[in-house]
Homo-oligomer: A and B are copies of this chain.
């Protein structure tokens, strides 16, 4: 998605630790008109897959999931991190390793919201080493539902998580894939 690459080049900031800060439009602050265009593109990519539900992870995945849901006319479910008072014990749970924070955290989703006959599209804002998607895949597999694939806004291709999942047969659609990132230098994978 050319418009996303241009937006990253224009508004993204590279912070120490290979962190790409896109808080001006993709998280913290959300350029909602642009986000709904991203959602439209995700809907286009998966239009033939009979998706019944979008699964994401709190909190930065929720906005892009809502944008895709608007165009796909399906519900969104978000996996919660850690424990919550408002959840019953009736959950699928998994563990995600955060490389950013170097710690594990639990993710959970109520069993009520993923049924075995569903066709699930996973959506997130970022894909780096793939930890969050691995957690979501685990949750969906526990439910017996079908994973049709994943859609993410920005993939850090050089961290390998997306390609590893593709090798295992998952359809992973990233609207911008960064293959190299250095000081004020971002190289996108041609798509």
Tell me whether A101 and B85 are in contact (CB under 8 A): yes
Binding site for B on A (CB under 8 A): 15, 17, 19, 21, 23-24, 27-33, 35-36, 58-59, 62-63, 66-67, 69-70, 73-78, 80, 85-88, 100-101, 109-110, 112-113
Residue pair A63, B85 in contact (C-beta under 8 Å): no
Copy total for this chain: 2
Report which residue of A28, A62, A80 has the largest number of chain B beta carbons within 10 angstroms of its beta carbon: A28
Docked-complex contact B86 and A15, CB < 8 angstroms: yes
CB <8 Å contact, B77 and A32: no
Given A15-B86, A86-B23, are A32 and B66 neighbors across the interface (CB < 8 Å)? yes
Q: Which of A30, A67, A80 has the most CB of B within 10 A?
A: A30
Tell me whether B86 and A63 are in contact (CB under 8 A).
Answer: no
Chain B: which residue is nearest A35 at the CB level? Answer: B66
Q: Is the CB–CB distance between A19 and B101 below 8 Å?
A: no
For residue A67, which residue of chain B has the nearest CB? Answer: B66
Task: Indicate if the CB atoms of A63 and B36 lie closer than 8 Å.
Answer: no
CB distance from A25 to the nearest CB of B (A): 8
Residues of chain B within 8 A (CB-CB) of A67 are 66
Q: Beyond A28-B110, A29-B77, A30-B75: 11 further Cβ-contacts under 8 Å?
A: A17-B85, A21-B86, A24-B113, A28-B87, A28-B113, A30-B78, A32-B70, A32-B73, A59-B59, A59-B62, A59-B78
